[in-house]
Structure 1
Amino acid sequence: MLHPTLRFLLSLLLLTAVSSPLSAQLDLASGTTGAASAKVTASLVSELKVAEPGKPFRIAVKLDHQPHWHTYGKVLPADVIGKPTSLKWTLPEGWTVEEMPWPDTHEVPSTDGKTSEGYDGIVYLPAKITPVANAEGTAEIIVKVDALVCDPQNCMPAKPEARISLTLAEKAETDPSVTEIFSQIPSIESSSLIKPANAPAKPAVTSFLSGLFIAFIGGLILNIMPCVFPVLGIKIMSVVQQAGEDKRQVLLHGLAYTLGILICFWALGGLVISLGKAWGFQLQSPGFVYGLCAFFLIFGLNMAGLFEIGASAVGVGANLQSKHGLSGSFFSGLLATVVATPCSAPFLGSALGYTLTLPPAQAMLMYTMIGIGLASPFLVLSLFPKLVSALPRPGAWMESFKQAMSFLLFGTVAFLAWVLTGMIEGQPMLFTLFSLVIIALGCWIYGRWSLPHKPARTRTIAVVLTLVSIGGGLAFGWPQVEKGPVNAGAHVEGGLTWEAWSPEKVAELRAANKAVYIDYTAKWCFTCQVNKRVYKDTSLQKLITDKKVVLLKADWTNEDPRITKALSELGKAAVPVNVLYTPNQSEPLILPELLSVDNVSAAFQGL
């Protein structure tokens, strides 16, 4: 039997998943490869214009990379994180293909300010083709490239395709236009041939293990991100309460908390993989945000001492050996994951991007490692009881500490209510705020009259009134979204004028040869709000004015398929994303996730 609060959160998660339009999510799934293919294109060149049946000849896959982008070689060095490039050939029946040695890779700029080993510019990947002995007429050769294309800011999968048609005749005829190209490629006789090109490539074990480590570190860092910080108060109280208790129960609580995190990560990861949803998608649902707002208000009042409902609901109960206490720890794990989704902490963005290049099973393992990283501090305390024993002993001070922690939850309520102002406008938002007052009234009734020393009739009436108040408040304030123009009009923020983003606006400004800076943001994204401090710098404002940069804001607070598609074309699946289009440049400069005056100024000074 699930705890009522657990059922409440799972219902909210399910409601959001069902309510998101599938068509918009499919745009994200399909857009990445197409966008990445523009970063690297493929074509086929043959040393022959006319091939002779049964006689082998050389062919090469020409990869043409956009400036600052690179792909990887056939085999990755041990210290390189990436994905090996592979080729899949489609040939006429009976024809064979064997790969020849590829050119040596060289040092290329990579993400996070590091260097890597790969290919950039133009590179030719040779192979040996042998037609069937009775071939005649014309034949078409097709190759599909499977690669990871990266620049100094991000990576995305690329699968460009190339094809070429050849004529068959009794005598082969070379193509003089490619003589210089094939003079740089070893002859068939002098080169030692590699395994058949269609044979499966050796897995990049080292690269994947490195990715798992990065995922773990990203999940660990989430514990100190502001998105998760309010939940830390709940977890701290739980650990303190467990000091000196039965060590087996301490371990069970740690495992229950970890299981709650993992199940939530598996559910969200499954939706991201199967439906192509964006990370943090549930926070684009006004109903889900409102539900969290009401939820944190109720438990903030509980921690402040207005009423007691049994701390099993938040995993900090006094009776740690009861079933409810374990379900509370499990629920705390679910809650920690839900409030962590709007965060894109250091390392986490790279880990989430890397999952786009992996098969579903490996991608789910990446999500598992992120979850373990998030759960690891609490889990370590549970596995090593001596660390728990080193914490302060339970005492009267804990009540004051618990009440102080409630203000973290009230701060979260304020933040979520502000997020709702970007989703709900006018009178419906007023109703939503009043509904929170009604819910608080229900909590006060419960705390005032549903006390053990009160008569049974009084307690029953109090419970009924409480349920009516909370249920009525939720019904009264449930967000009523009034559909209207998205991103309409310009506005001033931080001393700068931002115009509304749209694909048409971007195309118009770029056609006029203007510098365009786009801030892809959302109210529920805390990192996005931190980044806004940068734009208040007067020297940066002057630089933007001097360079005549047009500022566009793409607000993703509410679901917008156009923004989802634009992000996917940039190889991104989450905000914040900040890009600068410079005149006469086809590709934008993508800035780091965490902005500073220095890195934004450096981008504009390059204009």
Structure 2
Amino acid sequence: MSRHLLLFLALLVFTTRAGAQFSLGGGGASSEASLVSEATTVSQGETFTIALQLSHPEEWHSYYKNSGGVELPPAIEWKLPDGFTAGPIQWPVPEVKDGYFGKSFVYSGSPVFLVDITAPSTLESGKTLTFTANASWQICKDSCINEDKSLSVTLTTGPRTEVDPAQQALFAGARKSQPVVSPKIKSSAHSEGGDIQLRITDPGITGAPADFIPNERFAQPASAGGSITHDGDAWLVTLKRIKIDAFENAVPQGTSISGILTGAASFAIPATAIGSPPAKPLPFSAYLPILGGMFLGGLILNLMPCVFPVIGLKIMGFVQQAGSDRRKIAFHGVAFAVGVLVSFGVLSGILFAARAATGAGAAATGWGYQLQNPWVMFTLILLMFVLALNMFGLFELGTSATSVGGSLQSKQGLGGSFFSGVLATVVATPCSGPFLGPAIGATITLPAVQFFSSFTAMAIGLSLPYLILSIFPDLLKYLPRPGVWMESFKQAMSFLLFATAGYLLWVYAGQIGLDNMLGPILGLTAIAVAAWIYGRWNLPHRPRNTRWIAMAFTVIFAGGGFLLAKPPEKSALVWEPWSQERVDALLAEGKPVYIDFTAQWCATCQVNKKTAYTKEVIALMKQKGVVALKADKTNPDPKIEAKLQELGRTAIPVNVLQVPKKDAVVTPELLTSGYLKELFTKEIPEKK
């Protein structure tokens, strides 16, 4: 069936429904509603339950909180005595019904909706209190009717809460109709080819589940083209997504899924973050370039100035330890290679554990997915940037390689050669060449076997020259002599790493938003200052006090740079584009408007954004119904310029609060959260 036909049918149905809603009683169909309290007397600080009971006409039904379509679920607006608070509606398990455009989740007969009410701790005994619920709901058959009713129940207060025996059966049945909330339920979810796969584990789930009813609009039930299969000790639920509704409007796709797993017993499944499928092995043809890149990167480490000069020293140390026995020399070379392999195994294990902790690997959906995670991106930027600074010569790590190599000559036995391989790894890793950037970036998403195999290839690349030279020590005379060319080579390689860091920073800007890029730019600058201080003053020939001070400033600048550059928390404040027409429309609706005249090149504007709009300020703006508009003059805009002239301002930042039937308030240039809270509280009247 085409979308246009679906749209026509939807319009036809809703025309029918609209006619029913405005007819006298919708052809006689009408629900009965009542408000029932489980308690007759309530006491201070106690929680009791009130039920909204509906009784629908035969063959008519109301809807679950996710109707499955565009229908409206029951809602309650409470009017409670002072100090009382109401919890959310507790929803019974709905039926799954075929509708015009798919599955609907409905209640027929007489559904009961429970709400917990909590009394204040200062409640006095001997009072009579009235609890009012303005309830609304929609019932449908071939057409739909919107119904509402104001209901109330009167209770007394006393020293203890007393339950009404006459209502025990009603409330027991209502609770039995709700899904079981089990603390033992464990769930995980990921996207798989557009579908959602939900894995649910609970030893209390017996028998095969019948269906899964989602709480979110973007998911269909398992019975609508999905499936429920047994997978080990878990149930694997596959749900189809709803991306476009009946009117061809895009359905927002959430980041978590929850719902009800129905069956012999129904279980409430808590909100579960939707990740992405575990990393899948790459085909060998795609994996081979990564393996080759890691191996080549390991080989290139031997050309770094911190490693290359000691190759000969290490091999000659093997020769001296083994005398003229070439077999023993080869054993020393093997022991050295094993030391390198073990060291890389430990380092890659740490990286794999860190990847698992951040979910980078588990979130991989395909090639390059790691670039979708701001924290992975941030880590790669720091890695590439710091390595580039190191290779350029701003600071040096591993400068004691030569002395390490010399000291290893004095160590005896295969254990000394093994330890030599461990230290070679420690010395070489800070000199990672530019070939390792892309290779490591690709390796980070691979499953365990390919992940560790890649780092093993890198370890083999680093240790292979030593192994070959220990087997054929006569080849030492063919090695090029260390010289100035090695420093030039290292600095030339640094520019490739700077370019990689720049590319990653560009992607990072797309993730965190251009408005937040000042922090990473200043943060990377601070990290570069930290590297310069470390490389300039934390040197062996410097006095101890100088080195301690240098380390302190290194930590301060590096830590501050990290905090500035890390991914920011997503702001709950949503800015709409400014236009005078939008302002006029909002004011005509009675809504207050807050306008920020800003630009990317305005440093004070960026400071205001970072410091003034705290969580408390944003919550107050939402409470007051403030609509935030951004007038961005990063590029010339005649309309913004004209508005600024009207306000008597020529420079930005300019922030303006406009409240209906009041004069506009222009704020000071530098904002604080305290000023904004006072401004919104004073200028915007409370909602009635």
Sort the TM-score into its range (normalised by shorter chain).
0.3 to 0.5
The structure showing larger relative contact order (alpha-carbon pairs under 8 Å, at least 6 residues apart) is 1
The structure having more radius of gyration, on CA atoms, is: 2
Report the TM-score when normalising by structure 2. 0.32
Give the TM-score, by structure 1 length. 0.36
1 or 2, which has the higher helix percentage? Answer: 1
